[in-house]
Structure 1
Amino acid sequence: MTHVRFCGAFIVAACLAVPAFAAVDRPECVAPAQPGGGFDLTCRVAQSGLASQFDKPVQVTFMPGGIGAVAFNLFNTTRTDDGNAIVAFSTGSLLNIVTGKYGSSTEDDIRFVATAGADFGAVVVRADSEYETLGQLMEDLGSDPGSVVVGAGGSVGSQDWMKGVLLIRETGASPRDMRYVAFDGGGDAIAALLGGSIAVYTGDVGEMVPHLEAGTMRILAVMSPERLDEPFADIPTAIEQGFDVEWTILRGFYMGGEVSDADYNTWVEAFQAAYETEEWATVQHEKGLLPLNLAGDELQQSIKARMDSLREIATEAGLIN
């Protein structure tokens, strides 16, 4: 902003004391769930990471119901032009939109603002598994999908299930032939993997740190576009092993579809400014998120491409017609 750029040395302190984005007078982040989950975490990133961008702290409110459906519908009806509020979403929210779990409204009815960070899918086996490379696993998945038991902490149609679908799809086999076991959460799925009930766990790389340190599991591939930083720098991506499989678990924020450009841009610019600070990187790390900083048009385009891909995969897997 110009009033910051032209601050002389003698008035730097005064300029820094003025919030860069004071137009939003009651900043709010809606977590569409009960306290304590991923949506709460996402809003806490905004609350801490944007602390220097507004003259009032970002208030976190909770709106549980339908794994995000209640909030999504509210911001498509009565709060479509609320310029003070952002709503937390994840890749799971996008999948729910695709499969109709949020009703008839689509991603075109809201405005995606910015990301809080990301996690990425991981293909995990036991440390003593017969599968030492992703290629070996993919060979079996392609020739006889039913011979490999895949499991994760999500039901059919969930994010974790979709990761397995992507693997099978890449081999040329039908996703409907995947032998998948659903667990109540990642902890139960990991216990099943270690106990030998499943052969492959399609989880998230962020949750793997303690297990890698214990030496009980091995990650065959991360589903990121490029290699990640430590402690995952030595783990190859699926893409570099010759398989076009990527699963980014976005965490971010949207606003109602009728929010003014001025209010929308205020939030976008606030996030863009926050991304440049050490404080933002610190809160991402503390909340267990990996850096993925997208805002405004850049995020909108990323979401559009992701939704097109999700619809194609969901159709092929028989989730939608």
Structure 2
Amino acid sequence: MQSKFAFFAAAALVAVSFAPIPATAQDFTPENPQCIAPSNPGGGWDFICRTTAKYLFDLGVINDAMQVTNMSGGGGGVAFAHVTKERNEDNNLIVAASMSTSARIAQGIYEDAEQDDVHFLATFGAEYGAIAVPADSEFQTLNQMMDAILEDPRSVGIAGGSSVGSYDHIKPMLVAQEAGLEDVTQLKYVSFDGGGEAMTGLLSGSVEALSGDFSEMLGFLESGDIRIIAILAPERLKNYPDIPTAKEQGYDVVGANWRGLYMPAGASDEAKEFWKNAIMTMAEDQGFQDALEAAAIEPFNNFGDDMHAFVAQTIADVTKLSKEIGIIQ
């Protein structure tokens, strides 16, 4: 069977060239800039906003410190609706986005939403998904957990920091499908508003496992609170060679999650050009790249027309995959 999401994992290693800032971008200067993280603190979207806010200001790309606002709910749908319905022409607003954003558009989770309802600015990184359990879990391997799920799909609660049908949900469904679970919708997925809350659910014992991105788990791995029983990468990570892949345990699943930003579709062309080039400048900075590496995030850059085409392709791919595994008709 072809590796699920392998197309994205390969693409995550491709970088684009950086263009000089056009004159039009210099006609706009943001005032009181804001980044919305569509989740509670502690997750991937929160990381995007806080890291972007820090480096844009530190690099002098923006003159005013950027406000970071957490706006959870609906797997990012509350923030998406807020932007499209209330702030469609706001030139000073950017919003954290990821694979989950395009997945929810594809699956119709954001009501009546389409790609062009917002303006996708850029991707600047990608990371692999992982499945974790508490340090004292009875499950020592992914195989053991899958065996329990095959015996009783409702016996293993798997937390995720986003809604049902999200990428956090899709990843364990793909593994279960590879394990031989005929109806993967039987999988017990427990939705939380952000990776931080999902981790709390895992450590409190309300669920048996966690599906998320590796960077969200890293601190808890290093503190010894959790064990990661599988990384959804094509091979073991260079800096974490002791973590086995799902693939080597018999489940041919690769799951990579892009990190990026969107902004209101009705913003001015000058503002869109400014923010695109601001993110490009940030992505060139070595300090920013070091921050991504520390979080186990690989460089992955898309801007302008490339970004539009990339998001369109991911929406098409997720639509096809979601139909295959029964999430949508």
Return 5+ residue gaps in structure 1 as ranges.
Answer: 5-20
Which residue of structure 2 lines up, in the alignment, with residue 57 of structure 1? 64
Query: Which whole-Å CA distance do the structure 2 matches of 1:213 and 1:46 have between them?
Result: 24
Give the match for residue 215 of structure 2. 206
Counterpart for residue 31 of structure 1: 36
CA distance 1:279–1:212, shift in 2 (3 Å) = closer
User: Aligned partner of 1:87: which letter?
Assistant: V
1:167 aligns with 2:175: yes
Q: Does 1:177 find its partner at 2:186?
A: yes
TM-superposed CA distance for 1:210, in Å, is 4.8
**Compared CA separation, residues 58 and 152, structure 1 to 2 (3 A):** same
Identity %: 31
Aligned amino acid, residue 187 of structure 1: T
Q: Which residue of 2 aligns with 1:152?
A: 159
2:199 counterpart residue number: 186
Task: Give the CA RMSD over aligned residues.
Answer: 4.0
Gaps of 5+ in 2: 1-17
Secondary structure of 2:108's counterpart equals coil
Bigger relative CO (Cα 8 Å, ≥ 6 apart): 2
2:242 aligned residue: 234
Q: CA deviation at 1:299?
A: 3.7
Name the SS of the counterpart of 1:219 in structure 2.
Answer: strand
The alignment partner of 1:104 has SS state of: coil
TM-score, length-scaled by structure 1? 0.71
Q: Write out per-residue CA displacement over residues 244-298 of structure 1, whole angstroms, 9 at most, x where no aligned residue.
A: 3233344321123355655434333332232221221344467x46234423144
Counterparts of 2:92 and 2:225, CA distance in 1: 47
Give the C-alpha shift of residue 222 in structure 1.
Answer: 0.8
Q: Deviations over 1:68-108 (max 9, x none)?
A: 43442354356545444322223443343334342212123
1:24–1:54 CA contact under 8 A, matched in 2? no
What SS is found at the alignment partner of 2:158? Answer: strand
> How many residue pairs align between the two structures?
300
Q: 1:224 aligns with which of 223, 233, 237?
A: 233
Aligned to 1:272: 280
Counting only pairs closer than 5 Å after superposition, residues 1-321 of structure 1 correspond to structure 2 as: 22-26=26-30, 28-31=33-36, 33=38, 36=41, 38=43, 39-51=45-57, 52=59, 54=61, 56-57=63-64, 59-60=66-67, 62=69, 64=71, 66-67=73-74, 68-77=76-85, 79-80=87-88, 82-115=90-123, 117-125=125-133, 133-134=141-142, 138=146, 144=151, 146=153, 149-153=156-160, 156-173=164-181, 174-180=183-189, 185-192=198-205, 198=208, 200-213=209-222, 217-225=226-234, 227-230=236-239, 232-239=240-247, 243-259=251-267, 263-284=271-292, 288=295, 290-296=297-303, 297-316=305-324, 318-321=326-329
**Corresponding residue of 2:3:** none
Counterpart amino acid of residue 221 in structure 1? A
Q: TM-score by structure 2 length?
A: 0.70
